[in-house]
């Protein structure tokens, strides 16, 4: 278990599951420099030391995240993109960790909170969750949601959501592919457990390679994609987990 004295995140591990909790409920779990730093550290821990194979990312206090804390993000320095680059590096580290990741969305999920959810493999939303990407309305860009969002909802829908900055209900988010499942507010924990059961077992190498191939799917010619697939498949079928599976006696 990671024992660092974090103030913005909390890690709770039990068996194959690690809960990564945004622990700033008094501020709507807004994302500041300290949280970005702790998220980077958490990803290093999850990648290198955690025995868990599943990671649940969720908020505290009935709210996922109200987004980037603009009042603290740049501290006392003039605004620049350094802190934003750190944020994107942290999201990419989470996106690449060799664990299956599930974002559980409750209450408000705004701006950077949506970006964080998009960096996870799958998303579960409670019925009362509300998702908003309204950065363009405020005069800046919604991070690399400009790259991730179209892959989930399509280019036209992404343009509409970012241009209007409108709030999307959990049900609509499910209908357009922004979240994968919706549950009643009173059943969030049970729905989370069911989703996690569906994700088990997790093969970290195969999952990481699958993500990479999916990332390339919209921009790679077929001939190149086949070559990338065969190289990735070679890694999988020569790995110990696959070889152990092949050595099992056949089922009747």
Residue 125 has pLDDT above 90, yes or no: yes
Strands 100-105 and 122-126: parallel
CB atoms within 10 A of CB 178: 25
Q: Whose CA is closest to 30, among 69, 62, 72?
A: 69
pLDDT > 70 fraction of the chain, expressed in percent and rounded = 93
Q: Report d(CA 233, CA 61) in Å as an integer.
A: 43
| Superfamily (CATH H level) for 9-199 | 2-enoyl-CoA Hydratase; Chain A, domain 1 (3.90.226.10)
Q: Report d(CA 173, CA 179) in Å as an integer.
A: 6
60 close to 25: Cβ distance less than 8 angstroms: yes
- Phi and psi torsions of 24, nearest 5°: -135, 55
pLDDT in tens, 75-90: 566 666 777 889 999 9
- Phi and psi torsions of 218, nearest 5°: -90, -5
pLDDT in tens, 206-236: 999 999 999 998 889 999 999 999 999 999 8
Residue 250 has pLDDT above 70, yes or no: no
Q: What is the mean pLDDT of the chain?
A: 92
User: Please, which residues have CB within 8 angstroms of residue 18's CB and are 6 or more apart in sequence?
Assistant: 11, 12, 46, 50, 52, 54, 55, 56, 99
Phi-psi region of 182 (alpha: psi -120 to 50; beta: other; left: phi over 0): beta
**Upstream peptide bond of 238 is cis (omega within 30 degrees of 0):** no
Residue 251 has pLDDT above 70, yes or no: no
DSSP 27: G
Residue 2 has pLDDT above 60, yes or no: no
The pLDDT value recorded for residue 108 is 98
How is the beta sheet containing 181-183 ordered, strand by strand?
9-14, 17-22, 54-58, 100-105, 122-126, 181-183
**Torsion sign across C-alpha atoms 219, 223, 226, 231:** negative
Question: For the whole prediction, is pTM greater than 0.85?
Answer: yes
Residue 139 has pLDDT above 80, yes or no: yes
56 close to 106: Cβ distance less than 8 angstroms: no
Residue 197 has pLDDT above 90, yes or no: yes
Task: Kindly report which listed range (106-120, 184-198, 237-251) carries the lowest average pLDDT score.
Answer: 237-251
User: Please, which residues have CB within 8 angstroms of residue 30's CB and are 6 or more apart in sequence?
Assistant: 24, 65, 66, 67, 68, 69, 112
């Amino acid at each position: 278990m990671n024992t660092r004295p974090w103030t913005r995140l909390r890690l709770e591990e039990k068996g194959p599951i690690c809960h990564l909790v945004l622990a700033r409920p008094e501020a709507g779990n807004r994302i500041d420099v300290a949280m970005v730093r702790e998220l980077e550290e958490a990803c290093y821990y999850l990648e290198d030391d955690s025995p868990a194979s599943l990671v649940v990312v969720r908020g505290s206090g009935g709210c996922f995240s109200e987004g980037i804390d603009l009042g603290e993000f740049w501290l006392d320095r003039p605004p620049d993109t350094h802190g934003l680059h750190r944020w994107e590096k942290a999201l990419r580290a989470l996106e690449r960790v060799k664990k299956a990741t599930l974002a559980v969305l409750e209450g408000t999920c705004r701006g950077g909170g949506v970006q964080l959810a998009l960096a996870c493999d799958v998303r579960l939303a409670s019925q009362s969750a509300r998702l908003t990407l309204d950065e363009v309305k405020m005069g800046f860009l919604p991070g690399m949601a400009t790259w991730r969002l179209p892959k989930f909802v399509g280019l036209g829908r992404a343009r509409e959501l970012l241009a209007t900055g409108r709030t999307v209900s959990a049900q609509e988010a499910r209908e357009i592919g922004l979240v994968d499942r919706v549950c009643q507010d009173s059943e969030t924990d049970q729905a989370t457990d069911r989703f996690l059961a569906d994700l088990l077992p997790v093969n970290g190498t195969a999952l990481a390679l699958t993500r990479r191939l999916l990332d390339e799917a919209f921009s790679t010619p077929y001939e190149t994609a086949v070559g990338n697939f065969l190289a990735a498949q070679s890694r999988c079928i020569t790995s110990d987990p696959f070889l152990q599976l092949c050595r099992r006696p056949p089922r009747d």
